[in-house]
Amino acid sequence: MDMGLWYRAFMARSSGDKITQARMLYVDGGSADQVAHAMDVSESTVYRWRDADKKRGVDWDKRRAAKHDDPQALLALLERRRQELAKADPQGLAEYSAQADALQKLGRAIEQIRDAYGDFTMILNALRRFAQWAVENMSDDDREVIFRGVEAFTDDIKRSAR
């Protein structure tokens, strides 16, 4: 688990809102076992929280999948993994070889994603800047109409990029 997950877990223990923080850790890519360890609860507790949220309409797995459909989030995740691997201290030739192979594969995956989604990422950034402008300069009704159109547009772009 990356240090960001550990830090957020520490903050969760401090804040007392364990379920919300467990959800965030899980959605960010932590396994149920990692979340349980970070939150100092059992793995079955994590699954119980996840299932209870799902009954209330908060699906952790769908949120995780949606987050990883975002090319920027996926790139950030792969970059963190690459940094973790680069910092690891391999023991012996076999581990060194496996680490080098994993780093090379991650590097290729990152480049392929950047090549495939470079334009999409620029579009999303422009839309985010427009959204901020709209919040500051448009009425609620006008913003709602624009945001529905932008949402449909970005969904269409995501579908065509797959």
93-103: pLDDT as tens digits: 878 788 788 88
Q: Check whether residue 59 and residue 75 sit in a common domain.
A: no
The confidence score (pLDDT) of residue 55 equals 93
Number of domains in the chain: 2
Q: Check whether residue 156 and residue 86 sit in a common domain.
A: yes
| HSE, side-chain direction, 13 A CA sphere, residue 63 | 16
The confidence score (pLDDT) of residue 2 equals 46
Q: Check whether residue 33 and residue 98 sit in a common domain.
A: no
CA–CA distance, 70 with 142 (Å, rounded to integer)? 26
CB distance 5 to 30 below 8 Å: yes
Q: Check whether residue 49 and residue 124 sit in a common domain.
A: no
CB distance 155 to 124 below 8 Å: no
Range of the domain at 14: 3-67
Q: Check whether residue 83 and residue 108 sit in a common domain.
A: yes
Q: Check whether residue 94 and residue 16 sit in a common domain.
A: no
In this predicted structure, the answer to whether residue 15 has a pLDDT above a threshold of 70 is no
Q: Check whether residue 142 and residue 105 sit in a common domain.
A: yes
Buried b (16+ CB within 10 A) or exposed e, 75-99: bebeebbbeeeeeeeeeeeeeeeee
In this predicted structure, the answer to whether residue 60 has a pLDDT above a threshold of 80 is yes
Which residue, of 12, 47, 67, is where some domain finishes? 67
Which residue, of 67, 86, 106, is where some domain finishes? 67
What is the mean predicted confidence (pLDDT) over 23-36? 86
Q: Between 52 and 122, where is the model more confident? A: 52
Q: What is the pTM of this model?
A: 0.42
Q: Check whether residue 79 and residue 155 sit in a common domain.
A: yes
CA–CA distance, 34 with 107 (Å, rounded to integer)? 25
